[in-house]
């Protein structure tokens, strides 16, 4: 099955490149340029727009919408709500990147309200952010799901937690970290690609969400799109790491990651993918 998956993801990549889908982003101003270049690298077309006066129109002509909470303000939060509702109404797939959920009540509450008012095809975050999302849900049920993670969470426990949370939130979760996990509650896959040095580059998570948005534009299978996005990001990180010159650090690494995505092919994906589960 894993072999077939790799082939299918390669086909999906070719499909993005052939159709250059428009991926609308409402995102933070820190990593927005990298998200735009990563979207272009994978073969899609980015558009960034966050005014309440145009997000409904913009998302209506887009193939997917990526909402990223990295920098929030009243105006963009209102735009996120309007765009998410419109995307749902038009059947346009939605990605949520809940950057910093849990760091401040404002971020947590914004994410909570987004989850209440719209359905997201994929939510991509790190384990800590996803735990906050699960906790939001749990709170209303009087149970503290985060207890599962006390002590050293084992991979199996994490898997069960992610699967349960995906079902509860009615979404596909893409949880990135040392090992990435993608699950829609029924299907689950671990991805062991990527490099620890990616954490020293701002925006690798955001760029991964942009990739998921690009893949969601060309398939109805959100699990598959999330897997493709996470896998491409990890493999781009590995290839880029191999291309680093001795004096190069995190700024050059950023460029080389985007460059590697630009040169990704179905064959390279299949040759490097480390999928288990």
Q: 124: annotated binding-site residue?
A: yes
Q: Which of 9, 101, 189, 260 touches a copy of itself by CB under 8 A?
A: 260
Selected range binding a copy of itself among 105-113, 125-133, 136-144, 147-155, rule: CB under 8 A: 105-113
CA angle in degrees (0–180, nearest 5) for 248-250-252? 55
Least CB distance from residue 224 to a copy of itself, whole Å? 25
Report if residue 192 touches a copy of itself, rule: CB under 8 A: no
How far from each other are the two terminal CA atoms of the chain, in whole angstroms?
A: 11
Q: Which of 8, 30, 159, 167 touches a copy of itself by CB under 8 A?
A: 30
Give the Å distances, CA to CA, from 5 to 2, 95, 166, 276. 5, 21, 21, 11
Q: 203: annotated binding-site residue?
A: yes
Q: Which of 23, 201, 225, 227 touches a copy of itself by CB under 8 A?
A: 201
Cα separation, 2 vs 188, whole angstroms: 12
Q: Which of 1, 4, 74, 156 touches a copy of itself by CB under 8 A?
A: 74
Pairing of strands 275-276, 188-191: antiparallel
Report if residue 243 touches a copy of itself, rule: CB under 8 A: yes
Report if residue 178 touches a copy of itself, rule: CB under 8 A: no
The pair of structure tokens assigned to 277 is 């589960």
Cα separation, 46 vs 132, whole angstroms: 29
Cα separation, 262 vs 77, whole angstroms: 32
Closest CB to a copy of itself among residues 65, 181: 65
Cα separation, 51 vs 204, whole angstroms: 25
**Known binding residues for ATP:** 124, 176
* Binding site residues, a copy of itself, CB under 8 A: 28-34, 36-37, 40-41, 46-51, 53-54, 57-58, 61, 70-75, 100, 103-107, 200-203, 239, 243, 247-252, 254-263
């Amino acid at each position: 099955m894993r072999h077939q998956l790799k082939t299918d993801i390669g086909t999906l990549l070719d499909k993005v490149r052939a159709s250059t889908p428009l991926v609308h982003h409402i995102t933070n101003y820190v990593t927005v340029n990298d998200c735009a270049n990563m979207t272009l690298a994978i073969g899609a077309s980015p558009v960034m727009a966050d005014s309440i006066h145009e997000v409904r129109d913009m998302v209506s002509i887009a193939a997917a919408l990526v909402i990223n909470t990295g920098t929030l303000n009243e105006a963009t939060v209102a735009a996120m709500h309007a765009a998410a509702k419109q995307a749902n109404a038009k059947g346009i797939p939605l990605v949520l990147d809940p950057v910093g959920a849990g760091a401040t009540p404002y971020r947590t509450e914004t994410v909570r309200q987004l989850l209440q008012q719209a359905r997201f095809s994929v939510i991509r975050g790190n384990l800590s952010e996803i735990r906050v999302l699960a906790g939001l849900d749990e709170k209303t049920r009087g149970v503290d799901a985060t207890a599962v993670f006390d002590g050293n969470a084992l991979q199996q426990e994490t898997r069960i937690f992610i699967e349960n949370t995906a079902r509860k939130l009615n979404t596909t979760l893409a949880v990135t970290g040392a090992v990435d996990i993608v699950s829609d509650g029924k299907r689950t896959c671990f991805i062991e690609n990527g490099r620890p040095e990616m954490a020293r580059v701002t925006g690798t998570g955001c760029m991964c969400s942009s990739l998921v948005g690009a893949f969601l534009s060309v398939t109805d299978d959100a699990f598959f799109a999330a897997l493709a996005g996470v896998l491409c990001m990890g493999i781009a990180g590995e290839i880029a790491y191999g291309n680093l010159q001795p004096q190069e650090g995190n700024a050059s690494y950023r460029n080389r990651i985007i460059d590697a995505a630009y040169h990704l092919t179905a064959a390279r994906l299949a040759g490097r993918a480390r999928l288990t589960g």
